[in-house]
Chains A and B, each alone.
Chain A
Amino acid sequence: NAGVTQTPKFQVLKTGQSMTLQCAQDMNHEYMSWYRQDPGMGLRLIHYSVGAGITDQGEVPNGYNVSRSTTEDFPLRLLSAAPSQTSVYFCASSYEPRGLAGLEQYFGPGTRLTVT
């Protein structure tokens, strides 16, 4: 299993450009999520999905869109990039959203995005 994969690893955008960060998992996990990590801020949840066709907003959703057409893929779209979106983005997945069964989240390697 490849686990959770993310592309690209690095990206530089100009203000106003749009792009899609790709995330895929091959573990048949129902739950997928996107976080951003900023220095001194920890990880903040952007959007999440509890299954194909279902998405919802997290703590910091503004400026981002997601879709979940398949179980495997969960792309994150930046509609009009702003310097405030400079961050490291992590995708994660787990079998279910709640940890009641003791199931951890699996993280991708991250995408480092710079918006100039």
Chain B
Amino acid sequence: SQQGEEDPQALSIQEGENATMNCSYKTSINNLQWYRQNSGRGLVHLILIRSNEREKHSGRLRVTLDTSKKSSSLLITASRAADTASYFCATDGGGADGLTFGKGTHLIIQP
């Protein structure tokens, strides 16, 4: 069953604006990861945040994690047309079966 649930399901913004996506999950985790999927392609890993971390940055990406609320957010600053993609959160509960993915947020950057 789905562990992570992204919100919103779809987001359309103007180029240059910031995009924020949220992920909620149900059970305890070791870490949470964000992936990007361009249309017709496989998923690409963006960033991982461990359960003992609260915030992490990578280039224009900022991820936060609130384990008390079982939620995470992904912020993309100064968005570009190339950021148009679907974004998935994935949780690692520590089991041998690996990651559990959410349904994704489809982000459209309008030029």
Contact = CB atoms under 8 A, between A and B. Distances in A.
Contact of A107 (B30, B31, B43): B43
B96 A50 contact: yes
Contacts of B48: 99, 102, 104
Closest 4 CB pairs of A and B: A104-B45, A107-B42, A42-B103, A99-B92
Interface residues of B, number: 28
A58 B43 contact: no
Given A97-B97, A104-B48, A105-B45, A42 B31 contact: no
Contacts of A25: none
Nearest to B46: A104
Point out which of B1, B90, B97, B101 has the most chain A C-beta atoms below 10 A from its C-beta.
B97
Contact of B98 (A4, A97, A107, A110): A97
Interface string A17-47: 0000000000000010101000011111100
Given A42-B101, A42-B102, A45-B97, A99 B33 contact: yes
Contacts of B45: 104-106
Interface string B21-45: 0000000001101010000111111
B41 A109 contact: yes
23 contacts: A4-B42, A33-B98, A35-B101, A42-B2, A42-B88, A48-B98, A56-B97, A58-B97, A90-B43, A92-B43, A94-B98, A97-B97, A97-B98, A98-B92, A98-B96, A98-B98, A99-B33, A99-B92, A102-B48, A105-B43, A105-B99, A107-B42, A110-B42
Interface in A59-116: 59, 90, 92, 94, 97-100, 102, 104-110
Interface residues of A, number: 30
Nearest to B48: A102
B94 interface: yes
A90 B42 CA distance: 7
Nearest to A43: B101
Contact of A99 (B31, B35, B42, B44): B31
